[in-house]
Chains A and B, each alone.
Chain A
Amino acid sequence: MSARGAIAPNFGDYVPVAIGVVAVVMFFLAVEALVQTGVVNRFIVPPPSEVLGSFPRVIEEEDVIGRFLLTASECLTAGVMLTVFGVAGGVLMHRYKLLQDAIETWVAALASAPVVLMYPLFLVIFGRSAWTIIMMGFIAALPPVILKTIEGLAGTRKVLVNVGRSFNLTGSQQFWMILFPAALPTIFVGLRLGLIFALINIVGVEFLINFGGLGQLINELAERYDLAGTYAAICFVILVSIVFFMALEKIERWLRPVH
């Protein structure tokens, strides 16, 4: 049988990754060439080599590590809250049809609302603190987590539910042994989307209220017209995103190791 034996790593598996890396390098080389030849104004877009060169300076002079950790910890707090309240909200709405009918549309509307513009209200409620930033990230990211949790639970194949019924599972067993694991991939799609929303809003609010983190650094460097430094700081925001996505992928594989 073909499924027998260990699956040997194949050279072909690395080709897409290699193509992706080469494409990114080619893109930056093209931008470099366009800036160096004057086609693109270097006072609007700094050459990638200059951005790369500014990394040591930004790391040394601007406490990037501390800011990175602050933004990452805000993101982590919002992420944990999202997982707890977002997934629980989705589960409750799936469980109680009346609740779902009553508020699902409002939740969907919230997903497309520019929540970041409500920062003055959050400043009044939570003060000029990390909690304003965390709560804004959390609220903005809540809708996709709730909606995807509902979608995942509702999309559980009926035959799996019937298998549970045929084994006479209790409501709680049915949920934890069948519905929840079946819905996990979709719930994780919601969490990924939620984390994107949370990170955008967290960095955005740090930028707006000038309170710590990478958002504040981007604001300061932009005000100083340090374009290379600004882009270098944006790279660290991308790094936060990568770290969280990799962690989420690990958690998902641990919870549901599907091949």
Chain B
Amino acid sequence: MAAANPASDDAILIADDIGVRFETQEGPVIAVDDVSFKVKQGEFLSVIGPSGCGKSTLFNVIGGLLSNHQGIVTVAGERIDGPHKSIGMVFQEESTFPWRTVVDNVAFPLELVGMPKQKRIERARHFIRMVGLDGFAKRYPGELSGGMRQRVSLARTLASEPKILLMDEPFAALDEQTRLLLGDKVLQIQQQLKQTTLLITHNITEAVQMSDRILVMTYRPGKVKRIVDIDLPRPRTSEIVTSEPFGRYVAKIWADLREEASRGMQDEESHVLHQHPGTAS
């Protein structure tokens, strides 16, 4: 599959001149500055950047959880000023409801729209099967592993049938092997549903494995450094990580990120020295 053209007019999601500024004790901090991009229908776009580059802030802006920002976000031509039913969010932290069974967790958005119980249970089971958790519908999240719980969160979000799936480092807390396998699962679902997906991540392998395009951000203030088209064949699986073109993309992204990550590290060190000047040896 060819990479999506960022300038195409059939963009379903448009972020235009997004800027976020926080007031801190040490003065104002510009977390995100002048970030603009488009996501095409059915496209998988990853946003990658070093820690502190404002990735999660951008996630909150697009998801409508952060209202005090500059710029405009539109979904299918409609301006987003708050949480919107067109956008389904999967969070970095474990976010299943521990008091609900898997099936009740997944049926949550269907309950909100007043779907009859029998129908929503059937629908929820469909998404549970999709994420590979068939047989665990009556279990509670406390009985599942971290990776299984993230799949429940994913199924719950998919059940709301969003136009755009927005994920903030959903596998960050998982080990590398589970992460690769869950990446397979997300790819499979994304390809099956033709789901427009925006993934926020700091993991280069994950981004290259799944994306059509990767937006590389600079360290603070977070700006768009470069957008890289990933021209790898689809359907993909985690086996692609062993291919030579994959390695080239990883190297290319890392070349962009390395400078930013170094800047971030130096900034953190000087921040610590500034806060505790007497402790440096």
Contacts and interface: CB of A to CB of B under 8 A. Distances in A.
B54 interface: no
Contacts of B63: 166
Interface stretch (A54-62, A107-115, A121-129, A167-175): A167-175
B139 A257 contact: no
Given A166-B65, A258-B140, A159 B109 contact: no
A162 interface: yes
A3 B91 CA distance: 24
Nearest to B166: A166
Given A3-B139, A167-B83, A167-B160, A162 B65 contact: yes
A165 B88 CA distance: 11
Interface stretch (B94-102, B237-245, B252-260, B267-275): B94-102
B142 A259 contact: yes
Q: How large is the interface on B (under 10, 10 to 19, 20 to 34, 35 or more residues)?
A: 20 to 34
B112 interface: yes
Contact of B65 (A165, A181, A184): A165
A169 B64 CA distance: 13
Contact of B89 (A3, A166, A182, A259): A166
Contacts of B95: 159-160, 162-163
A256 interface: yes
A178 interface: yes
A159 B91 CA distance: 7
B84 interface: yes
Contact of A166 (B83, B94, B142): B83
By size class, the interface of chain A is: 20 to 34
A181 B88 contact: no
Nearest to B142: A259
B184 to A, nearest CB: 18
Contacts of B84: 168
Contacts, number: 64
Given A3-B144, A167-B112, A259-B143, A181 B97 contact: yes
A157 interface: yes
Contacts of B88: 166
The residue among A167, A169, A178, A184 with the most chain B CB atoms within 10 A of its own CB is A167
A4 interface: yes
B93 interface: yes
Given A167-B108, A259-B140, A259-B143, A159 B99 contact: no
Contacts of A157: 93
Contacts of A163: 89, 91, 95, 97
Contacts of A169: 112
Contacts of B87: 166
Contacts of A166: 63-65, 83, 87-89
Contacts of A165: 64-65, 83
A157 B91 CA distance: 12
B85 interface: yes
Contacts of B98: 258
A225 B199 CA distance: 77
A165 B84 CA distance: 9
B83 A3 contact: no
B99 A256 contact: yes
B67 to A, nearest CB: 11
Interface in B215-245: none
B135 interface: yes
B78 to A, nearest CB: 14
Contacts of B65: 162, 165-166
Interface in A155-197: 157, 159-160, 162-163, 165-169, 173, 177-178, 181-182, 184
A258 B99 contact: yes
Interface in B148-164: 148, 160
Interface string B98-120: 11000000001100100000000
Contacts of B108: 167, 177
B127 to A, nearest CB: 15
B37 interface: no
B246 interface: no
Interface in A1-48: 1, 3-4
A162 B166 CA distance: 13
B160 A160 contact: no
A173 B93 contact: no
A167 B88 CA distance: 8
A168 B83 contact: yes
A253 to B, nearest CB: 11
Given A166-B89, A173-B112, A178 B143 contact: no
Contact of A159 (B64, B94, B135, B142): B94
5 contacts: A4-B135, A159-B93, A162-B91, A181-B99, A257-B99
Closest 10 CB pairs of A and B: A159-B93, A166-B89, A259-B140, A256-B99, A181-B99, A159-B95, A168-B83, A3-B143, A259-B142, A163-B95
